[in-house]
Amino acid sequence: MDWNTIYPGPEPPTEAELAAYVETPLWTELVHYLSQAYHTDPVCTYSTCSMGRGWNVKYRAGGAALCTLYPGAGAFVCLIVAGCRLASAVEQRLPTLSPGTQRLWKETRPMSNGVRWLSLEVGSSEVLEDVKALLALKRKPNRTR
């Protein structure tokens, strides 16, 4: 069943409902990682944007956006907004990322202000590790929680 039909609002889904809908251990692993490494809690927001209409999960660290998770049935997308500073760090790190993430980076054209919106479909442990690596470039993790 469609995500918007199951959770039309105004009440956001619970963390347990999100995990059950996404139904992949990669979701649980990333959510746990974000909580532990960045001392951040999820904020469920309802979006009407074309990227992912419906409930999404935003993470902030140090007062800045870290990433947004878009749940799907059996899968999810992690959106990382890469500004100019992050772009140069990613370019240096690119050879260590998976081929799919490298291809996505090269195909994602920067906007006029140099920002890239990188939408990674997290369907494997390899892509999950790429997400963690990109987030670490954006903001260093602090694992003492």
Q: What is the pLDDT of residue 129?
A: 97
Query: What are 87-96's pLDDT values in tens digits?
Result: 889 999 999 9
Query: What span, in angstroms and rounded, lies between the C-alpha atoms of 18 and 47?
Result: 16
Query: What are 5-47's pLDDT values in tens digits?
Result: 776 767 888 899 999 999 999 999 999 999 999 999 999 998 8
Q: What is the pLDDT of residue 113?
A: 86
Measured in whole angstroms, the distance separating CA 130 from the mean position of its chain's CA atoms is 11
What pLDDT band is residue 145 in, cutting at 50, 70 and 90?
A: very low
Q: What is the DSSP string of 77-120?
A: EEEEEE-HHHHHHHHHHGGGS-HHHHHHHHHS---TTS-EEEEE
The stretch 128-139 carries a mean pLDDT of 95
Sheet holding 54-61, edge to edge: 43-47, 54-61, 64-72, 75-82, 116-121
Query: What span, in angstroms and rounded, lies between the C-alpha atoms of 55 and 53?
Result: 7
Query: What span, in angstroms and rounded, lies between the C-alpha atoms of 118 and 8?
Result: 26
Query: What span, in angstroms and rounded, lies between the C-alpha atoms of 106 and 80?
Result: 15
Extents of the domains making up the chain: 3-138
- Say what the pTM is: 0.90
Which of helix, strand or coil describes residue 65? Answer: strand
Ramachandran area for residue 141 (φ above 0: left; ψ -120 to 50: alpha; else beta): beta
Q: 41: how many CB neighbours lie within 10 A of its CB?
A: 11
Query: What are 46-89's pLDDT values in tens digits?
Result: 887 765 578 899 999 988 999 999 998 888 999 999 988 888 89
